[in-house]
Amino acid sequence: MAKPTLIAGLDVGSGKLTCIAAAHDTETNTLKVLAGRSVPCRGIRGGMVSDIRETSAAVTHLLGSIERECNRNIGNLFVGVRGAHLESFSNHGTYNISRMDKEITQDDMDLAVENAKAMPLKNDNEIVNVITQGFSIDKQRGITNPEGMEGSLLEVDVHITTGSSTHMNNLAKAIQRPGYKIDDTFYGLVPLGECVLSQEEKDIGALILDLGGETMSVGIYIDGILKFSRDIPYGCDLITGDLSRVLHTSRANAKEIKEKYGVSFPTFLDEEGEVPVPSLDGRSTHNIKKSYVLDIIQPRVEELIEQVAHCVEASGYKNFPVVGVVTGGGSLMPGITEHCVNILGLKEVRRGIVQRDLITSEDAFFDPQFSTAMSLVIYAAGSGVQEVYGRPTYENNSSLFGKIGKWFKNVDIFGG
């Protein structure tokens, strides 16, 4: 029996890297998480590399420790990218089948998608993800897989994410320098939406909000497909900064206060307790009321969710999402879903984690901070990635990102 292969998902977050490694049993097509870890990384700001050396050191530390824990090398590495340099939009492609037999092949589908990708890109931008949203044959819409069907005109709708080549290349360099090969790169919100939202939610119209430290990612699903996605360059670290400044305490202490005692909505202030606040020099501690912490947090959370509301308004899809799902570390703040209901005008908002039936794992890795890394593994494995194992050596002049140039379920990655 073949040894299950090790697939790793690397989430490049703000100021930290998070990795989940899972054994993929290709015979049963099941995934089991073997290790997961987050390490701080001072070389990354808001998902972008600000220092290659620091980032490479963090990658070596993180992936090395994961490999040691699993006692084997990472076979496939999938990277999730974030950042305000990413932009997403929908496009349309057509392809005429001029052959006699008219039977649509995979090549025809690829060519229709190629045509959808043919569009002007901003200077220094490249395509990160292309998701096919559905095909139509001779104007008949709603066909998910036209292979083998007959038709003359094949059309496809795609959702394309583009990003800055400079940032993408810097990130690839930072990961490849220690000798790791990237099998593919995804815009982090794409696998996340697939693994956190239910099909029913996507069908009815859903908004997904990933509340990170320095980034908030917003996705809108309508009729089952991702219509809009955007990264907003602010996140929950702003709350930490507010607490630190107002309470005169270090950022580390402010973060701890936020995560341990913070609530953003008055109804969650169950009892009026006291919160210990260490002084900046760490020599003394004084107590403040919990309600004072709420007073600092609430306006900032409202402001963040209002930013999301502006983004949704600008998307042109304001009236479509019915339900909302919040994920990412910031979703753990009590009261956040209430703000989303009030400010975004959604009927219902829940906290989302990766659906448990998609992967076997101990509970700790279902924590929202691992959601993106988990979804990367699930998404890539579910998409039929097969073995290409053994770690190739880093080549300075190699193409920076591995392009495996095949269809992943509905996804053609990296404009291959």
Ligand X SMILES: Nc1ncnc2c1ncn2[C@@H]1O[C@H](COP(=O)(O)OP(=O)(O)OP(=O)(O)O)[C@@H](O)[C@H]1O
- How near is the Cβ of 168 to ligand X at its closest, in Å? 16
Q: Find, among 303, 308, 304, 331, the residue nearest to 318 by Cα.
A: 308
User: Which CB atom, from 119 or from 364, has the smaller least distance to ligand X?
Assistant: 364
Q: Residue 256 contacts by C-beta under 8 Å, 6 or more apart in sequence?
A: none
Quick check: 192 binds ligand X (CB under 6 A)? no
Please report, as residue ranges, which positions from 321 to 350 form the binding site for ligand X (by CB under 6 A).
Answer: 328-330, 332-333
Taking CB under 6 A as the binding criterion, the range among 61-69, 84-92, 232-240, 338-346 that sits at the site for ligand X is 232-240
β-pairing, 323-327 with 285-289?
unpaired
Dmax of the chain from CA atoms? Answer: 84
Phi then psi dihedrals of residue 404, to 5 deg: -85, -5
Q: What does the alpha-carbon distance between residue 138 and residue 116 come to, in Å, rounded to a whole number?
A: 17
Q: For the window 8-47, what string marks contact with Mg ion as x by the rule CB under 5 A? A: -----x----------------------------------
Q: What does the alpha-carbon distance between residue 207 and residue 219 come to, in Å, rounded to a whole number?
A: 6
- What is each CA distance from 101 to 98, 113, 143, 145, 149, in whole angstroms? 9, 21, 20, 18, 10
Residue nearest to ligand X (CB): 212
Cβ(290)–Cβ(269) under 8 Å?
yes
- How near is the Cβ of 62 to Mg ion at its closest, in Å? 15
Taking CB under 6 A as the binding criterion, the range among 130-138, 233-241, 348-356, 403-411 that sits at the site for ligand X is 233-241
Q: For the window 202-241, what string marks contact with Mg ion as x by the rule CB under 5 A? A: ----------x-----------------------------
Please report, as residue ranges, which positions from 350 to 389 form the binding site for ligand X (by CB under 6 A).
Answer: 369
By a kind-dependent CB cut-off of 5 to 8 A, residue 278 interacts, out of ligand X, Mg ion, none, with none
Q: What does the alpha-carbon distance between residue 254 and residue 246 come to, in Å, rounded to a whole number?
A: 10
Please report, as residue ranges, which positions from 78 to 97 form the binding site for ligand X (by CB under 6 A).
Answer: 82
Q: What does the alpha-carbon distance between residue 261 and residue 239 come to, in Å, rounded to a whole number?
A: 13
Residues forming contacts to ligand X in the complex (CB under 6 A) are 13-14, 16, 47, 82, 212-215, 235-237, 240, 255, 258-259, 262, 328-330, 332-333, 369
What is the binding site for Mg ion (CB under 5 A)? 13, 212
